[in-house]
Amino acid sequence: MADINVTPLVDVVLVLLIIFMVTAPMLQMGIDVNLPQVKSKSVDVTEEKIVLTITSAKEVFINKHKTTFADLKVKLKSIFANRSDREVFMKADKTVPYGFVVGVMSEIRKAGVDKLGIVTAPPEE
């Protein structure tokens, strides 16, 4: 009888699985770093792009049309219903709380947007 014995192979695979299950949570920890400020190329906005703007008073605008935070997901879904490129550029005032910006980003992702770009000003010299 010339069969292959798979028991040692199964043992090795199970041991590797246990090792990866133990080490995977350790890889999730982050390291605090100071990110550099860099100059980057500006984005060509000659095409019709969706720009979402958040003012210092927490008002949300899609291009130049004012919307509420509650209606944001519904409006974005209707905008992208017939589009193949699901891309949004977001501008937020620097005085807006970070939590509100993250909440808006979450609503954008829930609306099915594939790409989210953050528009920033170049660093002052």
For the beta carbon of residue 15, count every other beta carbon within 10 angstroms.
10
Q: Looking at residue 112, which CATH number applies to its domain?
A: 3.30.420.270
- Total tally of structural domains belonging to the chain: 1
pLDDT at 39: 67
In a domain, 94, yes or no: yes
pLDDT at 28: 55
Say if CB 79 and CB 65 are below 8 A apart: no
Question: Quick one: how far is CA 105 from the chain centroid?
Answer: 7
pLDDT at 44: 52
**Structural domain range at position 106:** 50-118
In a domain, 109, yes or no: yes
In a domain, 107, yes or no: yes
Tens digit of pLDDT at every position of the chain (125 positions): 778 888 989 999 999 999 988 888 776 554 444 445 556 665 554 457 888 888 888 888 888 888 888 888 899 888 888 877 888 888 888 888 889 989 999 998 988 888 888 887 777 66
